[in-house]
Copies of this chain bind each other. A is one copy, B any other.
Amino acid sequence: MSLRLAVLAMLDVEPGSGYALLRRFQNSVGFFWQTTHQQLYKELHGLHAEGLVDCLEVEQDGKPDKKVYSLNAAGGAELDRLLAEAANPGKIRDPLLVKVFAGRRLPPDAVKAELLRHRALHEQTLATYRGLMQSFEMVPAERRERYFYPLQTLRLGVLYEQAWLQWCSDVLADIAKRPV
């Protein structure tokens, strides 16, 4: 149900076409709840069929026509209902940990290489989150209140990536210390 919640929340902020929503998605909620355009369109169809969103077809010149979706009263109620439901924490699900678990079977250099690669990837993601957080700081103070909660989610992203970086470094250090 989180995709539905995410879509309704996006539409609550601002109406938009599936395409536009997807791009907004990928630069915000998408960091901690991924989706594809196929799923998004399907969800929008579903929401429309249930009467939770309104749809307006807009003709454009030079660009394909689009369908602009917006939240209606029923959709707002549904959003509030979903927000009131308790959610369980998501669980860790990372292929790298499965590989490291079985690391004994691999030559140490292969493990090291993979850890270095992942550390670099996590550094990149961390930089992305930091960049986004900085861009929030440029929002004028009177409008910053609107972005209070989205900003908080980014803070988790930063802590999350830092934890992974720390771990990659720790494990690399431990491997180096091992008797050969």
Chain A contact residues, CB within 8 Å of chain B: 1-2, 5-6, 8-9, 12, 28-29, 31-34, 79-80, 83-84, 86-106, 110, 114, 117-118, 121-122, 146, 148-150, 152-153, 155-157, 159-160, 162-164, 166-167, 170-171, 174, 178
CB neighbours of A29 from chain B (8 A): 97-98, 101
B34:A98 contact, CB within 8 angstroms: no
CA distance A162 to B95 in the complex (A): 21
A90:B101 contact, CB within 8 angstroms: no
Can you name 8 A-B residue pairings with CB atoms under 8 Å? Answer: A6-B102, A9-B98, A31-B91, A83-B110, A89-B122, A90-B95, A97-B156, A100-B153
Q: Known contacts A93-B90, A160-B92, A174-B152: does B102 contact A33 (CB below 8 Å)? A: no
Contacts A1-B95, A31-B91, A101-B153 aside, 17 further interface pairs with beta carbons under 8 A come to A2-B98, A8-B102, A9-B98, A32-B94, A33-B97, A79-B102, A83-B105, A89-B118, A89-B122, A90-B95, A92-B156, A97-B156, A100-B152, A101-B149, A155-B167, A160-B160, A163-B163
Tally of this chain's copies: 2
A9:B155 contact, CB within 8 angstroms: no
A2:B95 contact, CB within 8 angstroms: yes
CB neighbours of A148 from chain B (8 A): 103-104, 174, 178
A151 → B minimal CB distance (Å): 9
CB neighbours of A103 from chain B (8 A): 148-149, 152
CB neighbours of A114 from chain B (8 A): 86-87
CA distance A148 to B100 in the complex (A): 10
CB neighbours of A149 from chain B (8 A): 100-104
